[in-house]
Amino acid sequence: MAENIIAIGLDNVVVAETDLSLVDGQNGLLVYRNHWARDLAIHHTFEEVAHLLWYGELPTEQQLNALKEKLKANRTLPAHVKAALDQIPADVDMMSVLRTGVSLLAEPTHAWPPTLEQVISLTAKMPTIVAYRQACLQGTEPLEPNSALDHTANYLYMLKGEIPHPAHVRALDAYLILTQEHGMNASTFAARVVASTRSDLISSITAAIGALKGPLHGGAPSEVTEMIEQIGTKENAEPWLRAKLEKGERLMGFGHRVYKTIDPRATALRVVASELSADDPWFDLATHVEQVGLKLLAEYKPNRKLNTNVEFFAAAVMRAVGLDDAIFTPTFAVSRVVGWSAHVLEQAANNRIIRPQSNYTGVMPE
Ligand code: ACO
């Protein structure tokens, strides 16, 4: 039998060519189709960047208006989806609810190949699922989407029950842009594996949500806020973090498979968070925890080049705009669905089933 190369964790294995993004982990660079992600987050909006990823270019004014109208027209949840969400027990976590809600959006017409119409419809509905569930948990009447508001503002409106402050919309928009796309991360890979079997878009995105949920991927931001809460004071930061590392545990919001220098999304979001949180003691403590965490990681893992990742400051931004911990990761999904679906379209356009191998280490029958 021929010897296969074993790549546990698929480190450094290239499984696709993509026009969507470049993640340069050595130099800390992130490009979406010929644009710096950082610049897109400063100068553009959620819909403009989604257009760039889905259609290949930033939109003209006319194209942008057309996309906004399509998103607005698709925000409302079908009655059967609401009825099913109502049946889910209150202690089921929000990511599981989102995964179930997305699964319920399957339609007979959604067979292979995936289309941009399906992608837009799904992207429009995901924020409504999250807001609907939150309202049910809080015992308030779920708000219908507000067609006067764009994607991010409408999401905040549905979650908070009031027209959001423009600074909050800008901050959340920056976060949602910086996390729309990120190469072949675990959830995107999951989406592409499912798409490669010629399964439907909804099945791909359901798989991706399941992958994003894990604390080593998109589940980290709520664990960052939990960590800051538990640390509580600046004096407690070093003993608390040191105790974690002594036990061999990981510090949430630090480290990345690809970035061996600062995560450029963390750099950009640090600025956004600090603008909103200038006088907030929580943010002051968080930046202290970051400094102590970096110092200790250099001490305990000297050869690993561990830096702050996007999740550390994602937590700070989402907290600053008033979102609850429980919807930090679902909000990541509301953003990343753009990249997942762009990858599904790209996979479908040039498909070969993704089918790696494993080495049998068991015993052969007699
Ligand atoms: N805290 C402590 N040690 C760490 C951390 C951390 N946050 N991250 C990596 N390490 C250590 C590992 O224990 C391991 O040490 P060892 O070789 O002595 O056993 C070594 O560094 C592995 O380093 P990498 O190969 O760089 O890490 P890997 O690719 O396996 O994991 C991951 C990357 C999962 C992101 C990891 O850094 C981690 O668990 N971070 C905390 C969770 C987190 O913040 N996740 C969000 C990532 S960003 C995103 O998904 C959007």
Ligand 1 centre and the CA of 358: distance in Å?
24
Tell me if 345 sits within 8 A of 301, measured CB to CB: no
- Over its C-alpha atoms, the chain yields an Rg (Å, rounded) of 21
Describe the crossing of helices 166-178 and 151-160 by its angle, rounded to 10 degrees. Answer: 120
Whether residue 346 lies in the annotated active site = no
The tens digit of pLDDT for each residue in 203-262 reads: 999 999 999 999 899 987 788 999 999 999 999 999 999 999 999 999 999 999 999 988
| ipTM summary value | 0.95
Phi-psi region of 9 (alpha: psi -120 to 50; beta: other; left: phi over 0): left
| Residues across the chain | 366
Order of all β-strands in the sheet with 21-24: 21-24, 29-32, 35-36
**With 0-12 CB in 10 A as exposed, 13-18 as middle and 19+ as buried, what is 64?**
middle
Tell me, using a 6 A CB cutoff, whether residue 304 lines ligand 1.
yes
Pick the CATH number of 220-320 from 3.30.465.10, 3.40.50.720, 1.10.230.10, 3.30.450.40: 1.10.230.10
Residue 221 is predicted with a pLDDT of: 76
Domain boundaries, the chain: 36-166+180-216+328-349, 220-320
Q: Which residue has the tokens 């220098």?
A: 261
Residues of the chain with pLDDT under 70: 1-3
Which DSSP category does 259 fall into? -
Q: Which of 168, 311, 343, 346 is catalytic?
A: 311
Residue 108 is predicted with a pLDDT of: 83
Q: Which of 256, 290, 343, 346 is catalytic?
A: 256
Q: Model's pTM, two decimal places?
A: 0.93
Signed CA dihedral, 226, 227, 230, 234: sign only: negative
Nearest protein Cα to ligand 1, atom 16: 301
Which DSSP category does 308 fall into? B
Ligand 1 centre and the CA of 174: distance in Å?
25
Tell me if 314 sits within 8 A of 273, measured CB to CB: no
Nearest protein Cα to ligand 1, atom 36: 255
Residue 2 is predicted with a pLDDT of: 58
**Nearest atom of ligand 1 to the alpha carbon of 312:** 44
Show the tokens assigned to 78: 């079908």
Ligand 1 centre and the CA of 143: distance in Å?
39
Calculated CA dihedral for residues 109, 113, 116, 120, nearest 10 degrees: 50
Tell me, using a 6 A CB cutoff, whether residue 216 lines ligand 1.
yes
Closest among 205, 32, 186, 239 to 125, alpha carbons compared: 205
Closest among 271, 269, 278, 285 to 331, alpha carbons compared: 269
Whether residue 256 lies in the annotated active site = yes
Ligand 1 centre and the CA of 112: distance in Å?
36
3-state secondary structure of 30: strand
Residue 5 is predicted with a pLDDT of: 82
Tell me, using a 6 A CB cutoff, whether residue 250 lines ligand 1.
yes
Fold of 36-166+180-216+328-349: Citrate Synthase; domain 1 (1.10.580)
Ligand 1 centre and the CA of 254: distance in Å?
7
